[in-house]
């Protein structure tokens, strides 16, 4: 990077460098759209998107859509985490099941489970529960895998410390195994959360039951691309909020175990 | 406890303790029948070549291995499995990385249900004992290997075990830290009159710390000789240059050399 001096110390603070890179990107995009290098209709200039923010906020549907998406994705992630951690724990303690099914869970983690949505439309119906279930299903496999990996990876010496202190099996789990596996479990939750948000937005987009996904689909159908990009920005905002919450949750759990 | 104070009643008694590991490649006799009495406040070191069954012996006494022959008694009562009167310090890094130094030391007290205020006060005392004042709120990743091992020792001492077992606790440390930590262990052992059993490879360390050094044979492990270390206490690493100290080291090495050679030959045979 050019902002590194010969002494190895950065010339600019990292935050300033980051903001400068973003500003340069936005300026380049703005210039390209205005000069006609890119199609300003499908990729409107940032200034046009900025005006789209005003419109989308004034129409009054954004707040509700954000709440719907946030609640659905949060519910999906919470349900998926509980089920995923339980499956991971089961695969860890029951070794034959772990040997037999871990590969399947790994395959499920990389499969596009969102394509199962017609099945759940039939079973559950065209409502928010389908979105929630699809979101939860998407995040279960990575959380289960990382939970198993975390629990398998607890160093035997830590378990021996617990045994030497005559810990009960419940204490052994909550005081040693769980906190030791927590970093891996939270890696799974972060990956799972990504799948949950993708699935929730995708299903909202496909079955139009509300939320940011439906809003983006509607704006796209109206060819209102500046507002559509503004909607996408709010999807990113929801993701950032989630990751922030997960990080705080991890820190709180680690400090309280 | 008058007898204990005089050192006549063994705190720990091993009677014909032996262990065979049954593996798909054949049975491995790790420890031959071995008997031993350890008195209150005594410091015993077990020394022997790699693979002689030292750690197996410690795991039997500590209760981590439960299927063995013979018996282990604490204060005349036969025990099998982990026992609250026996504390263990391990060779590997064993502090909990998600807990601060003080919370690591308070761990067994927390598990025993002691209130936060009381356990923190006790943990603070123990951190003082091991010379870690001012590091209470540091995480293990912020401390050196020697400091982490002192935390592990303090944590084991927190639940006041009658017998402290240490499995090569200084093995992963550099020589200078090892010497300083040895001094600290001697000081703690004297202050608490702590009955201690140390597993080690290091002859000088064994002589510096111990009242008796048990030399074990190469596999299957049995006691080859017991060396009484008649050096004045309190001891420190400064004694290492002394003539008598050197005499003990040489005497132990004389016995150990043959066993270590057997271990080396076995290792070369397995590699070829």
Over residues A115-169, the pLDDT tens digits come to 888 888 889 888 889 999 999 999 999 999 999 999 999 999 999 999 999 999 9
Q: Looking at the predicted structure, is the pLDDT value of residue B269 above 50?
A: yes
A22-37: string of b/e by CB count within 10 Å (b at 16+)? eeeeeeebeeebeeee
**Pick the residue with more confidence: B182 or A149?**
A149
What per-residue confidence (pLDDT) applies to B109? 95
Q: Are strands B223-228 and B163-167 parallel, antiparallel or unpaired?
A: unpaired
Over residues B237-246, the pLDDT tens digits come to 888 888 889 9
Q: How confident is the model at residue B175 (pLDDT cuts 50, 70, 90)?
A: confident
User: CB pairs below 8 Å between A and B: how many?
Assistant: 46
- Nearest alpha-carbon partner for B151 in B174, B124, B173: B124
DSSP class per residue in B111-155: HTT--HHHHHHHHHHHHHHTT-TT-TT--GGGS-HHHHHHHHHHH
Least Cα separation, residue A164 to chain B (angstroms): 6
Is the Cβ pair B94, A182 closer than 8 Å? Answer: no
**Pick the residue with more confidence: B176 or A182?**
A182
| Averaged pLDDT, B119-124 | 95
Which residue among B87, B92, B98 sits closest to A179, beta carbon to beta carbon? B98
Of all residues in chain B, what percent carry a pLDDT higher than 90? 51
- Nearest alpha-carbon partner for A187 in A88, A108, A255: A88
What per-residue confidence (pLDDT) applies to A59? 77
Least Cα separation, residue A163 to chain B (angstroms): 7
Interface of A with B in 106-165 (CB under 8 A): 155, 157-158, 160-161, 163-165
Residue B167, classed as helix, strand or coil, is strand
- Domain ranges across chain A: 60-256
Is the Cβ pair B63, A179 closer than 8 Å? Answer: no
Q: Are strands B212-216 and B69-74 parallel, antiparallel or unpaired?
A: unpaired
**How many domains are there within chain B?**
1
Q: Looking at the predicted structure, is the pLDDT value of residue B195 above 90?
A: yes
Between helix A225-256 and helix A46-58 the angle, nearest 10°, is 80
In a domain, B134, yes or no: yes
Q: How confident is the model at residue B3 (pLDDT cuts 50, 70, 90)?
A: very low
Over residues A169-204, the pLDDT tens digits come to 999 999 999 999 999 999 999 999 888 988 999 999
Is the Cβ pair A165, B63 closer than 8 Å? Answer: no
| Averaged pLDDT, B6-24 | 84
Mean pLDDT of chain A: 87
Length of chain A in terms of residues written: 257
What per-residue confidence (pLDDT) applies to A111? 81
CB contact B139 to A (< 8 Å): no
Least Cα separation, residue B6 to chain A (angstroms): 29
CB contact A257 to B (< 8 Å): yes
Top CATH class of A60-256 equals: mainly alpha
What per-residue confidence (pLDDT) applies to A84? 95
CA-to-CA separations, A66 to A128, A196, A209, A238, B226, in angstroms, rounded = 14, 15, 13, 7, 76
Is the Cβ pair B159, A158 closer than 8 Å? Answer: no
Which residue among A158, A163, A257 sits closest to B64, beta carbon to beta carbon? A163
What per-residue confidence (pLDDT) applies to A43? 84
Q: Looking at the predicted structure, is the pLDDT value of residue B7 above 60?
A: no
Which residues from chain B sit within 8 angstroms of residue A166, using beta carbons? 82-84
What per-residue confidence (pLDDT) applies to B110? 95
Of all residues in chain A, what percent carry a pLDDT higher than 70? 96
Over residues B61-80, the pLDDT tens digits come to 999 999 999 999 999 899 98
The answer to whether residues B46 and B167 touch, using CB atoms and an 8 Å cutoff, is no
- Nearest alpha-carbon partner for B123 in B99, B96, B145, B104: B104
For residue B103, what are the domain limits? 96-159
CB contact B236 to A (< 8 Å): no
**Pick the residue with more confidence: A65 or A255?**
A65
Query: Of the spans A64-73, A91-100, A247-256, B11-20, which averages the highest pLDDT?
Result: B11-20
């Amino acid at each position: 990077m050019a902002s590194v001096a010969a002494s190895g110390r950065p010339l600019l603070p990292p935050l300033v460098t980051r903001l400068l890179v973003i500003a340069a990107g936005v300026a380049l995009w703005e210039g390209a759209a205005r000069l006609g290098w890119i199609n300003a209709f499908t990729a409107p200039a940032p200034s046009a998107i900025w005006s789209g923010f005003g419109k989308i906020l004034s129409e009054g549907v954004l707040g509700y859509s954000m709440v719907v998406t946030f609640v659905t994705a949060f519910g999906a992630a919470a349900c998926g985490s509980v089920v995923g951690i339980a499956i991971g724990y089961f695969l860890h303690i029951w070794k034959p099941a772990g040997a037999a099914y871990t590969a399947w869970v790994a395959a499920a983690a990389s499969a596009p489970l969102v394509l199962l949505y017609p099945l759940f439309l039939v079973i559950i119906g065209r409502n928010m529960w389908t979105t929630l279930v699809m979101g939860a299903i998407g995040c279960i496999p990575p959380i289960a895998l990382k939970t198993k990996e975390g629990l398998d990876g607890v160093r035997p010496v830590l378990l021996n410390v617990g045994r030497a202190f005559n810990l009960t099996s419940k204490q052994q789990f909550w005081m040693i195994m769980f906190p030791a596996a927590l970093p891996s479990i939270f890696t799974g939750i972060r990956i799972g959360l990504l799948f949950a948000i993708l699935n929730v937005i995708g299903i909202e987009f496909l079955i139009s039951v509300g939320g940011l996904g439906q809003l983006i689909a509607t704006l796209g159908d109206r060819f209102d691309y500046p507002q559509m990009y503004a909607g996408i920005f709010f999807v990113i905002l929801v993701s950032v909020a989630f990751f922030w919450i997960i990080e705080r949750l991890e820190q709180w759990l680690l400090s309280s175990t | 406890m008058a007898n204990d104070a005089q050192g006549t009643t063994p705190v720990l008694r091993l009677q014909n303790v032996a262990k065979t590991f049954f593996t798909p490649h054949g049975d491995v006799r790790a420890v031959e029948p071995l008997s031993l009495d350890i008195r209150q406040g005594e410091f015993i070191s077990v020394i022997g070549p790699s693979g002689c069954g030292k750690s197996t012996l410690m795991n039997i006494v500590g209760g981590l291995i439960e299927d063995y022959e013979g018996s282990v008694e604490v204060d005349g009562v036969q025990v099998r499995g982990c026992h609250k009167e026996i504390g263990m310090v391990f060779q590997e890094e064993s502090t909990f990385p998600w807990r601060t130094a003080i919370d690591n030391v308070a761990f067994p007290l927390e598990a025993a249900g002691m209130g936060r205020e009381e356990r923190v006060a006790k943990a603070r005392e123990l951190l003082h004992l091991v010379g870690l004042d001012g590091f209470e709120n540091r995480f293990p990743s912020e401390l050196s290997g020697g400091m982490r091992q002192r935390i592990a020792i303090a944590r084991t001492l927190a639940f006041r075990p009658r017998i402290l077992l240490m499995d090569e606790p200084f093995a992963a440390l550099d020589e200078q830290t090892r010497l300083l930590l040895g001094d600290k262990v001697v000081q703690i052992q004297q202050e608490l009159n702590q009955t201690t059993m140390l597993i080690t490879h290091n002859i000088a360390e064994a002589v510096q710390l111990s009242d008796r050094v048990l030399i074990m044979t190469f596999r299957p492990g049995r006691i080859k000789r017991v060396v009484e270390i008649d050096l004045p206490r309190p001891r420190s690493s400064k004694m290492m240059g002394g003539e008598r100290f050197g005499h003990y080291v040489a005497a132990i090495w004389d016995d150990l050399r043959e066993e270590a050679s057997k271990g080396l030959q076995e290792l070369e045979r397995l590699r070829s």
